[in-house]
A and B are shown apart, each in its own frame.
Chain A
């Protein structure tokens, strides 16, 4: 058995230093709900585990003066659920994160881990993409920000450079009349991996959609930002024709695989169905905001 070292630095600078200077495989530990399972199955055997939960910035939810939210990468799903203001402003983001696993998993699993695990079916990611979340990353060369959809590179792979750590997600200020929603298709009631996931965020002005973003999960090697679907919604009153057009744009964007959870044809069909349903829920929420 390889010797494993565990460190829990109190600062981000220290975490980046040890993570970047690791000679062998190193892993970041946030909630551990993917990492420990992968270690136990023998899929990975890191020589160094860097626990980031002693770093205040990584475990905090902060509301900015401009109405933006900053969510630390290691904040658990349970903590997201308990943040009443965040849940009121971004219900789709919170419901997506809360779909991951059981109560016990929610006590640990984080949006940062969900993103960096880079499963195409990660539930929080399409909702974050729809929300136009930006990710703050810190590495040996300092800090940078990038759009959340730029992080996944393929199943289990990210675009992060060696030594880089996802620090937080920033959700932008929310105009009046905005709403978001996330839906996923699974063959059972709860606790399964998405066959398709769809996040929609939009803004309405007197019933006309003035801004929209659509994120699709589990239908391609990475979560997708579907700009053509957003274009079909923007300028419309979310009538049946606009929803059909956006649904078709989602289907056109799909590059899924056949697997035990669903066929290519099924995933493609469902992507359009979920777009319509999620857009309708987001619009209903926008009308109340």
Chain B
């Protein structure tokens, strides 16, 4: 059948791909584009492991059709660190051991970054609600929340 041709921007770089109409953005990211940082947990929008941004808005890439990426700007976990430097959230997650098996981590980091981009000084309550769509099967929630709060604090102090 005829493939859909899509031109999009991923982590600031222009990309083109061919896909089937019903393929998800996650399928294309992980398949032809080779960006396997985004994980497939549930494929039904419940777990958040596939979290990416589309035009700056946090979404589950499993619930976005790949053709919808046309003309959009997609942000994935691969775009979070610079060449030689982790994002402060990534660094803090390492320091505070805010991960166990790591499958949920890319989605949690994308979601946490999306929160801090909008709200540099969230309450613990706000962090927990914002991250409620990111499931961690190792139940590492407390460490995750603490790492996000600590990162927010560091980042606020850094801009002073």
Interface hit among A100-108, A144-152, A171-179, A211-219: A100-108
B124 at the interface (CB under 8 A from A): no
B22 at the interface (CB under 8 A from A): yes
Whether the pair B51, A104 counts as a contact (CB closer than 8 A) is yes
Chain A residues closer than 8 Å to B129, beta-carbon distance: 103, 190
Distance A41 CA – B111 CA, assembled complex (angstroms): 26
Partner of B45, one of A6, A29, A101: A101
Instruction: Tell me the nearest residue of chain A to B110, going by C-beta.
Output: A104
Instruction: Tell me the nearest residue of chain A to B20, going by C-beta.
Output: A4
A78 to chain B, nearest CB (A): 6
| Contact A103/B111 with A3-B1, A37-B44, A37-B63 known, Cβ cut-off 8 Å | yes
Partner of B133, one of A37, A76, A101: A101
A118 to chain B, nearest CB (A): 19
Whether the pair B21, A37 counts as a contact (CB closer than 8 A) is no
Chain A residues closer than 8 Å to B133, beta-carbon distance: 101-105, 191
A88 to chain B, nearest CB (A): 19
Distance A41 CA – B129 CA, assembled complex (angstroms): 28
A161 at the interface (CB under 8 A from B): no
Interface hit among B53-61, B96-104, B137-145: B53-61
Whether the pair A33, B65 counts as a contact (CB closer than 8 A) is no
A219 to chain B, nearest CB (A): 25
Instruction: Count A/B pairs, Cβ under 8 Å.
Output: 86
> Which residues of B from 122 to 151 have beta carbons under 8 Å from A?
129-134
> Which residues of A from 107 to 151 have beta carbons under 8 Å from B?
107-108
Distance A32 CA – B68 CA, assembled complex (angstroms): 11
Whether the pair B65, A36 counts as a contact (CB closer than 8 A) is yes
Distance A207 CA – B63 CA, assembled complex (angstroms): 47
Chain B residues closer than 8 Å to A39, beta-carbon distance: 22
Partner of B130, one of A37, A41, A103: A103
Whether the pair B43, A40 counts as a contact (CB closer than 8 A) is yes
Distance A33 CA – B48 CA, assembled complex (angstroms): 13
Whether the pair A102, B132 counts as a contact (CB closer than 8 A) is yes
> Which residues of B from 68 to 107 have beta carbons under 8 Å from A?
68, 70
Partner of B48, one of A3, A49, A78, A104: A104
Whether the pair B21, A32 counts as a contact (CB closer than 8 A) is no
Chain B residues closer than 8 Å to A4, beta-carbon distance: 20-22
Whether the pair A108, B132 counts as a contact (CB closer than 8 A) is no
Annotate A22-43 by CB proximity to B: 1 below 8 A, 0 otherwise: 0000000101110011011100
Whether the pair A104, B58 counts as a contact (CB closer than 8 A) is yes
Chain B residues closer than 8 Å to A252, beta-carbon distance: none
> A interface vs B, CB < 8 Å?
3-6, 8, 29, 31-33, 36-37, 39-41, 49, 51, 53, 76, 78, 101-105, 107-108, 190-191
> Told that A31-B63, A102-B133, A190-B132 touch, could you supply 18 new A-B pairs with CB distance under 8 A?
A6-B4, A6-B22, A6-B65, A8-B68, A32-B64, A32-B65, A36-B62, A36-B63, A36-B64, A36-B65, A39-B22, A103-B58, A103-B130, A104-B59, A104-B133, A105-B63, A108-B63, A190-B129
Give 8 A-B contacts (CB < 8 Å), ordered by A residue.
Answer: A4-B21, A29-B68, A32-B63, A76-B57, A78-B57, A102-B133, A103-B111, A190-B132
